[in-house]
Amino acid sequence: MRLKLGVCVAFGLAVTAARAVEPTLKEAFAGKFLVGTALNEAQFDERNAADAALVKKQFNSVSPENVLKWEVVHPQPGKYNFASADRFVQFGESNGMFVVGHVLIWHAQTPKWVFQDEGGQPLSREALVERMRDHIHTVVGHYKGRIRGWDVVNEALNEDGTMRQTPWMKIIGDDYLRLAFQFAHEADPSAELYYNDYSLENEAKLKGAVALLKPLKDGGVPVTGVGVQGHDNMQFPTVQQEEAAVSQLGALGLKVMITELDVSVLPYPDASTSADISKRLAEDPKWNPYPGGLPDQMQEALAKRYADLFGVFVKHSDVVSRVTFWGVTDGTSWLNNWPIRGRTNYPLLFDRNGKPKLAFASVVGTAGKRN
Ligand code: GLA
């Protein structure tokens, strides 16, 4: 009996010790910001039981990788398909997570018909505004009070900070953003509403984002936050660029979120290379250098890179409200197939077996650091 008790106590201490050295992500950053991840269907349906368990253990916010994009949720005029998104939202709710809606207004993964009339001609401004209103009211309204924050507009800017000439911009004009936020607010006045974009750490684009968002915010448009996607690599953004983005956007009075974080360790092809047949590129060690595993030295470099980025998020946790990774494990990351199909990338904190990488510990290590 005494022996049994001793074993139990020892086991209990070991568990406590293990927990003390390795809190989960959501525990480590509690009180600072939420830590989220983006889910595919197999994960939120729990067919991928291992990933689903990992998500429940580590994260307290979820975003849908694809099921709320226009092409999925509203594939044809007047036809809404909420089946998959309903299961996604249910997964988040039943696990007590902050559920993010992604994305209402974007130029990609949006069917062509959205911008055309029945004869295939470009839609008038009035008709497109009406279509936008219907989409936003229907989708946001469907999840009123359940989806707590929405990416309302995605990627409205070019790299140089000018407005991207998307069909939304060309047909409606630059007040399409104001209208989109207004419609989302009408549909769910208590939801947080975000502008979301990539490369906001690039100086010119950051300047463009401030120029875009400041008048919206100051003019009373119901924008509550800005999502810095964070599709990073080993060089970009620098710590200084990351810090400038987070602090300048935060200074607008907006919540700042890192919404799609991953760090590619693979070379990025230039335009002439990617025009080549991508199948062959994936077989070329120059473009796919680590098909059998990430060497220790790279593992360490990635851990350091993640620690540097999280150092900025922790330092600015007064304005950073959430950090969401774009995917759960390296194996299911979109970066294995973009911008070249069939490579082996290592952009996240969990390896192909769902085991924490060195970068996991280095990220968690930033949580306790004083700045
Ligand atoms: C963009 C979108 C996301 C996703 C990623 C890549 O950043 O906002 O929905 O498509 O690209 O997967």
Is it the case that residue 30 has pLDDT exceeding 80? yes
Average pLDDT, rounded, for the chain: 93
**C-beta 334 within 6 A of ligand 1:** yes
Task: Name the active-site residue from 65, 155, 192, 242.
Answer: 155
Q: Which domains does the chain have, with CATH numbers?
A: 22-365 (3.20.20.80)
Is it the case that residue 6 has pLDDT exceeding 60? no
pLDDT of residue 7: 45
How many A from CA of 26 to the centre of ligand 1? 23
Tokens describing residue 339: 């911008």
Mutate to test the pocket of ligand 1, among 152, 194, 326, 333 (most ligand atoms within 8 A of CB): 326
Cα 38 to Cα 103, 129, 193, 366: the distances in Å are: 12, 29, 18, 22
Verify whether residue 260 is a known catalytic residue: yes
Is it the case that residue 13 has pLDDT exceeding 90? no
Is it the case that residue 10 has pLDDT exceeding 70? no
Average pLDDT in the 170-194 region? 98
pLDDT of residue 150: 99
- pTM of the shown model: 0.93
pLDDT of residue 275: 56
pLDDT of residue 22: 77
- Give the β-pairing of 320-325 and 34-39: parallel
Is it the case that residue 20 has pLDDT exceeding 70? no
pLDDT of residue 311: 98
Average pLDDT in the 297-325 region? 98
239-252 in b/e form (b: 16+ CB < 10 A) is: eebbbbbbeebbeb
Is it the case that residue 97 has pLDDT exceeding 90? yes
Which residue bears the tokens 């507009």? 153
Is it the case that residue 347 has pLDDT exceeding 70? yes
Is it the case that residue 25 has pLDDT exceeding 60? yes
Per-residue pLDDT band at 48 (split at 50, 70, 90): very high
Task: Name the active-site residue from 93, 130, 260, 300.
Answer: 260
Residues 346 and 290: beta-carbon distance below 8 Å = yes
Residues of the chain with pLDDT > 70: what percent?
A: 91
How many A from CA of 21 to the centre of ligand 1? 34
**C-beta 63 within 6 A of ligand 1:** no
Task: Kindly report the protein residue whose alpha carbon is nearest to atom 12 of ligand 1.
Answer: 334
